[in-house]
Structure 1
């Protein structure tokens, strides 16, 4: 997988009245480590996460059910 350039920024929306914002689109991380065949290559998944973040995604959907801590460690590396 080559370097991914981001040209599009994901929209943002306010949560509640405290001024918090989140991206209108998130990144589901379940398939990065399990449940859909063999785990994907770590280097490629790090590229995907970095691309999402560089595009403005601030919600990365993960759970200890996928690991434990497998996806959280992957996100930390990214």
Structure 2
């Protein structure tokens, strides 16, 4: 799994901690504020906020946006 985030975001920190607690392995890609729009809009259907989780598994959604949605996975 790939987590797209801003390192200083409390919502991204919450997701990192929850994924670690659940024992889910993931990689992190830190995005540049402002330029994240170029990467996120095509993946999320127009959303521009982080965190975004990319499961990268068959049968899974392409991207899960918003910390609450990620935590329900």
TM-score exceeds 0.5: no
Relative to the length of structure 1, the TM-score reads 0.30
TM-score normalized by the length of structure 2: 0.32
